């Protein structure tokens, strides 16, 4: 049996750990493994190579992905589905293990419904996939963001400034909420709740009036902001589109910082973490979780559990329906965010 593996969407700490685990488990099942280069593009362009224990040795701790990645969606390419099906048949591929987030696994869901044998592995630093308690990559991103917030505390206090830290999170605020709580942020702004900058400024003024000389504000890049009470919330973008045709986010941190300084008179700076959150070595937690996902995904292929995704439920790795897992995003629940709000002040 020949099994192909791909990594799609944004890169993520722990991807190589999954690939390594899949290949190791495949040896026990007697599978021949194929690595598809640059996500779904590897099938569209017939670009692949054989994966063995030798080619996946020593990659557990490495960030990024040895397969490369892209945001190419076959359903947005002319005759994309037909090209994928022909490539699968031409190369004698029995099954595909798709490692990715919302975009990659949504495409995997549709392909599964079209008859292709696919299993999914949930990868995203945003932790926004339904059906699983946690995605791998999230813990590493939160750890990096928390470390940055810790460092911003000392300089903010020394200079008596407000510092805005912009973190990733296009549609959801899991990174901002977790890192904000862990880092002791004074304000956390997330996509789930439009930000009223008038209220943010008033809150910071109250803090300073009570004797606190600095404040830390954490904002997710996809947070919609309201500058004036009679204005609709707006998403801040760079004006360009990304590879998937979505608006490229950027600038919300600067806007929030500008408005805070304008409204309060307090010197305000901004730090944008950006792709730092995606890079570098994965945490021990993500290495273990990614490894467990990879082993389970390979076992799913052996059990013919196609159209399913490996998922973490409690402390168990289980199989869940791909269609349900990608039906809607997993957003930060109101009751969880209220835990963070306890410390705003």
Same-domain status, 132 and 144: no
Q: Please, what is the angle between helix 138-159 and helix 174-183, to 10°?
A: 50
In a domain, 337, yes or no: no
Q: Do 56 and 22 fall within a single domain?
A: yes
pTM of the model: 0.94
Residues 248 and 132 in one domain: no
CATH of the domain at 220: 3.40.50.460
Domain range for 173 is 140-279
46 assigned to active site: no
Residue ranges of the binding site for ATP = 10, 71-72, 101-104
Q: Is 186 a domain residue?
A: yes
Residue 202: both structure tokens together: 């008033």
DSSP designation for 331:
P
Domain assignment of residue 49, yes or no: yes
Question: What does 217-264 look like in DSSP terms, one character per residue?
Answer: EEEETT--EESSTTSPPB--EEEEE-TTSPEEE--HHHHHHHHHHHHH
User: 3-state DSSP helix/strand/coil percent for the chain, to nearest 5?
Assistant: 40, 20, 40
Looking up tokens 């490692």, which residue turns up?
Answer: 99
Both 157 and 267 in a single domain?
A: yes
As a residue count, the chain comes to: 345
Q: Are residues 65 and 157 in the same domain?
A: no
- Beta strands 225-226 and 308-313 are unpaired
Same domain assignment for residues 220 and 240: yes
| Residue 332 covered by a domain | no
333 domain-assigned: no
Domain shared by 177 and 111, yes or no = no
Residues of the chain below pLDDT 70: 243-244, 345
Enter the tokens of residue 291.
């490894």
Question: Is-contact 214 160, C-beta < 8 A?
Answer: yes
Instruction: Report the binding-site residues for Mg(2+).
Output: 102
Shared domain check, 307 and 218: no
**Per the domain annotation, does 275 fall within a domain?**
yes
252, 279, 306 — which closes off a domain? 279
Tokens representing residue 27 in the block: 């040896």
Residues 206 and 291 in one domain: no
Query: Which CATH number belongs to the domain containing residue 299 in this structure?
Result: 3.40.50.450
Cα(295)–Cα(78) distance, rounded to whole angstroms?
Answer: 34
Tell me whether strands 268-272 and 162-167 are parallel, antiparallel or unpaired: parallel
Cα separation of 149 and 160, whole Å? 15
**Same domain (yes/no): 114, 220:** no
Q: Which of 162, 184, 328 is nearest to 258 (CA)?
A: 162
* Whether residue 145 is found in the same domain as residue 131: no
Q: Please state the residue numbers annotated as binding site for substrate.
A: 124-126, 161, 168-170, 221, 269, 275-278
Q: Which is catalytic among the residues 11, 46, 126, 139?
A: 126
Tell me the DSSP string of 39-58.
TTHHHHTT-EEEE-TTTTTT
Query: Quick check: is 30 in a domain?
Result: yes
Binding residues: 10, 71-72, 101-104, 124-126, 161, 168-170, 221, 269, 275-278
Question: What pLDDT is stored for residue 16 in this prediction?
Answer: 98
User: What's the confidence (pLDDT) of residue 345?
Assistant: 60
Number of domains in the chain: 2
pLDDT at 237: 82
Q: At what angle do helices 197-209 and 252-264 cross, to 10 degrees?
A: 50
Does residue 32 lie within any of the structural domains?
A: yes
User: Which tokens sit at 144?
Assistant: 């990096």
> Does one domain contain both 173 and 275?
yes
User: Quick one: which of 75, 97, 130 has its CA closest to 323?
Assistant: 130
Question: What per-residue confidence (pLDDT) applies to 244?
Answer: 67
Residue 88's pLDDT is 97
């Amino acid at each position: 049996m020949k099994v192909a593996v791909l990594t799609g969407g944004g890169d993520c700490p722990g991807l190589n750990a999954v690939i390594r685990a899949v290949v190791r488990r495949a040896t026990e099942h007697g599978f021949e493994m194929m690595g598809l280069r640059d996500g779904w593009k590897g099938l569209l362009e017939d670009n692949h190579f054989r994966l063995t224990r030798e080619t996946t040795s020593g990659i557990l701790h490495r960030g990024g992905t040895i397969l490369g990645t892209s945001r190419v969606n076959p359903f947005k390419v002319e005759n994309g589905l037909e090209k994928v099906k022909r490539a699968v048949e031409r190369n004698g591929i029995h099954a595909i293990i798709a490692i990715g987030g919302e975009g990659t696994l949504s495409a995997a869901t549709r392909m599964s419904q079209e008859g292709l044998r696919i299993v999914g592995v949930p990868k995203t630093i945003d932790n926004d996939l339904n059906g699983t308690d946690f995605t791998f990559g999230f813990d590493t991103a939160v750890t990096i963001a928390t470390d940055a917030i810790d460092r911003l505390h000392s300089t903010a206090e020394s200079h008596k400034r407000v510092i805005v830290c912009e973190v990733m999170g296009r549609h959801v605020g899991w990174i901002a909420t977790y890192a904000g709580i862990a880092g002791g942020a004074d304000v956390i702004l997330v996509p789930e709740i439009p930000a009223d900058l008038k209220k943010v400024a008033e809150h910071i003024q109250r803090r300073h009036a009570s004797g606190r000389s600095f404040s830390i504000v954490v904002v997710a890049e996809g947070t919609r902001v309201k500058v004036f009470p009679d204005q609709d919330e707006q998403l801040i973008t760079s004006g360009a589109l990304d590879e998937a045709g979505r608006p490229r986010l950027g600038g919300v941190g600067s806007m929030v910082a500008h408005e805070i300084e304008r409204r309060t008179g307090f010197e305000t700076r901004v730090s944008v973490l950006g792709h730092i959150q995606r890079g570098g070595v994965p945490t021990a937690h993500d290495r273990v979780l990614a490894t467990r996902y990879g082993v389970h995904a390979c076992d799913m292929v052996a059990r013919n559990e196609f159209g399913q995704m490996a998922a973490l439920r409690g402390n168990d790795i289980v199989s869940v329906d791909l269609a349900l897992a990608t039906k809607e995003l997993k957003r930060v629940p109101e009751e969880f965010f209220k835990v963070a709000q306890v410390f705003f002040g």
